[in-house]
Structure 1
């Protein structure tokens, strides 16, 4: 019998923001139960610490520079081969409920400036890009907020391999899509009182992007997604009991803004939050960290935008406490869905997966949010795999092998006895029977291509990072400096060894490994059709 798959995805959650990961304050009993019944990966890394590119990798098993969604603002090509599409081909019913963000969500113009035209050269109107694939058609505007303002707008199904989609895009109480239509229909009195312009500031908090929402916990997007997931499971059980399924429940939290509803707002007290060890930055910080610190000191920091900023210790404690409330809300809703799975009699044949699209700096080195500064809190994510058919000796285990977001599709397909297509780059972490197998990775490759030119760089920031069992190396396209940390002796990444004379042999060795990883992750699809 083919196994079912129930996949929980959160947005911007660190690997250490779980009780089962050793967090002494945060309570996540339902997620912890999945870890107790399955396997938790302690060293799971993203392929890009930004939403769209890494979500694309989680669907295609390919790094962003190959699947095409290299950064936010560039949608995943509709012709992409995804694991839901492959599962559907072999008889699965597939569904996505919650946040997608495989295409652009907002109508805001890009931050990346157009290429400066060289005088006296003719510009092609037909071929402005080096590829003829267009991302300006209406097919690539399906997730835009403005598109959903049209009452009869719906996604064209299947959508990246998902046969059913209930969309809840964006974050906090500013989500739209099928969710906003449900809110207007079921709770019209509060539907017009959401978002930051209607949020109520708590005088006890100074953190930016934090407000009391008018929504109750049962009107909030997190509950909507869980409730829709439960309804989908019940409907599938009633009408397609013999058909295997793959359901993704994708929560927009705990991504900022920080607006945990109801009891979750003050579930955790800021005074009970222990500051990260590097929350008070030292005197010797890399140039990009100093740039953010100086920006904040000069009053130029953009505190109400998605761009990362330097934060003070009070803000850090408040934001972590609010984030914990959002995670506990998610945990309670995962408990709802898991109970429904059991009530439907599908629990014994369902692989349950929990992960996130990327982490958050969350006070590390005094920084908040995400960007091209690849500290561990940003690039490590939670990854739990619970398989009822796994050997008893593996349940409750913690694996330390290096794994990557692209390993998720490969593992799902292997467990479903489906061969991965040529060009899918992930490593299967489990065999067809549910027994674990090592990734055998010597390193993980992380990419990032920003639209913004900041952090002291004159051009949009591009960085490539190599993470090994013992070190992290980051190389920037612009600038003659980089980052090198020994993760064994310096797990908080406080001593950059890049310019240390004694570390030059190590740096050269890691640079060679980085080049080898880039080569290993180069394109192999399509296969050649002839020898020459």
Structure 2
């Protein structure tokens, strides 16, 4: 029996409720909604880590960041780490990564050791000698396409896109320069088109829609599917869009597709009864006029107008992705591939995007940044009605689910669980989830780089912050929007203690079981 094809579509910094099928009141995403209508939509899907690189590595390995080694942005997924894509390749799959990969650094700027400059050159791990520069800018100068060495974490074919918005690089930038000699001027924020938006990092790019990174990735995916037509070999294609991650740069008509006046801040800062210290610190930075607004990772406190604009522009970027998804699905149909292809849609993490007046992401482990969309659209799904699953699920579950779907045994040390039993909307395979977060420097009022562990259960969310006397505890049944932190409430001390013990056991469960013992002691 022929194994199915897999088309995995991933967006960047895309919270779950920013899709039509997840209930957004303004955003229109008919093509992604159509995937949900033909498949299973998971309501309680969370990332393994709410930051790009660690969670992308968790998707590839089916393992927690603390196990696979890429724990924070700026690190690398070790070359010796196994990926499920390698297993697919070994079993005869044609494998391709089209778009943003981000399991190696996208910059060549050395990290600063802010806390211990004297320790900058010392590390517990020796350099393994592997080349971890493959996503860095110096490979993508000029217009002559960089010959990317493969296999790359199991991918036979790589079309690399790095960074975000109108600053996207990699093979895309080389292609853009070949199309437009003035490409670097188009990407220069100093040459953006006029607009009246005040939102930080909102830039009206002059890059035409057809030359924007979303269109480029769409075209590469369509080309790949055309080449797969009639092939005996099954394929696995990872199609990864850098949007809607900031900067907010929807091109052409997508800039004005949504009106900021149609959006509202439904969960302002004032809605939180006892805001945790980082939230208060971010607000104080706004009041003092000391916000850090241009960093790629620093969540900050924003005004209502800034948030409305960020929401509208984010929706513009998502709508462009949705149109691209429509074109990709038509290519599946046109090339006779739809009935043999499992399509998955998800994202690497979310965005506060107005929650308590915050925007972007950070250490505060709210559902806005840990809960993302996950849609599994399978041609073998029985029945025509869409299915919604309330089962708790994680990014680490994607790899074992794909392997189970094509009958391949996972390698030793894979920590996720197959979600195939959950596709009918009835079953569940786990009672709780672990979310890991580790920062690479101190920010948002933390005295040291934040290290956070979060437990998500059927009813509660508990977050413990290393070195901090405070923590977070929320009851989702009584307080689904997490507006009342129960951490210090005397009547919840027993619950906090029990959940902390449950978190400890979940962390013990996440301890790396690989490699196997080679010999008896």
Q: TM-score, normalised by structure 1?
A: 0.94
Matched with 2:169 is 176
- CA 1:283–1:516 in 2, change beyond 3 Å: closer, same or farther? closer
1:417 paired with 2:417, answer no
Runs of 4+ with deviation above 6 angstroms = 434-437
Shift of 1:454: 2.6
Q: Secondary structure at the match of 1:474?
A: strand
SS at match of 2:242: coil
**Paired residue secondary structure (2:517):** coil
Residue 391 of structure 2 is matched in structure 1 by: 401
Q: CA shift at 1:418, angstroms?
A: 0.3
Give the Cα separation in 1 of the matches to 2:22 and 2:425: 20
Matching of residue 200 in structure 1 with residue 170 in structure 2 = no
Matched residue, 1:225: 217
Select which of 425, 429, 434 maps to 1:440: 429
Alignment correspondent of 1:10: 11
Structure 2 residue aligned with 1:129, among 123, 126, 131?
123
Residues 352-397 of structure 1 show CA distances to partners (whole Å, capped at 9, x for unaligned) of 000000000001011000110111111000000000112216x411
The residue number in structure 2 matching 1:333 is 324
Q: How far off its partner does 1:79 sit?
A: 1.8
Once the two structures are TM-superposed, the CA of residue 486 in structure 1 deviates from its matched residue by 0.5
Q: Equivalent residue for 1:459? A: 448
Pair 1:489 & 2:478 matched: yes
Taking the TM superposition and a 5 Å limit, the aligned residue runs for 1:141-220 are 141-149=133-141, 151=144, 153-203=146-196, 205-220=197-212
Superposition CA RMSD, Å: 1.9
Distance of 2:11 and 2:145 partners within structure 1: 29
Out of 522-531 and 79-88, give the one that drifted further.
Answer: 522-531
Q: What are the superposed Cα offsets for residues 389-409 of structure 1, whole Å, 9 maximum, x if unpaired? A: 12216x411100100000000
2:52 alignment counterpart: 51
Q: Which residue of 2 aligns with 1:430?
A: 420
**Gapped regions of structure 1 (runs ≥ 5):** none
Provide the rounded CA distance (Å) in 2 between the counterparts of 1:455 and 1:216: 36
CA distance in 2, matches of 1:442, 1:234: 42
With over 3 angstroms needed to count, the CA separation of the structure-2 counterparts of 1:133 and 1:392, relative to structure 1, is farther
Indicate the residue corresponding to 1:392 in structure 2: 383
| Matching of residues 317-356 of structure 1 within 5 Å | 317-356=308-347
The SS at the match of 1:420 is: coil
Q: Which residue of 2 is the match for residue 95 of structure 1?
A: 96
Aligned-partner Cα distance in 2 for 1:400–1:7:
21
Give the match for residue 297 of structure 1.
287
Name 1:236's counterpart in structure 2.
228
1:520 aligns with 2:509: yes
TM-score (norm 2): 0.96
Q: In the alignment, does 2:22 pair up with 1:21?
A: yes
Structure 2 Cα separation of the partners of residues 40 and 224 of structure 1: 27
Counterpart CA distance in 2 for 1:195 and 1:519 is 48
The counterpart of 2:366, out of the listed 375, 397, 400, is 375
Q: Indicate yes or no: 2:486 matched with 1:509.
A: no
Aligned twin of 1:270:
260
Shift of 1:148: 2.0
Shift in Å, 1:456: 2.9
The alpha-carbon deviation at position 109 of structure 1 amounts to: 3.1
Kept after mapping to 2: 8 A contact 1:428/1:437? no
- Describe the SS at the equivalent of 1:421: coil
User: Could you report, residue by residue, the CA deviation over 1:2-43 in whole angstroms, capped at 9, with x for unpaired residues?
Assistant: 000001000000000000011111000000000000000000
Query: 1:55: how far off?
Result: 0.2
| 3-state SS of 2:131 partner | helix
Q: What's the secondary structure of 1:42's corresponding residue?
A: strand
Asked whether 1:477 is paired with 2:478, we answer: no
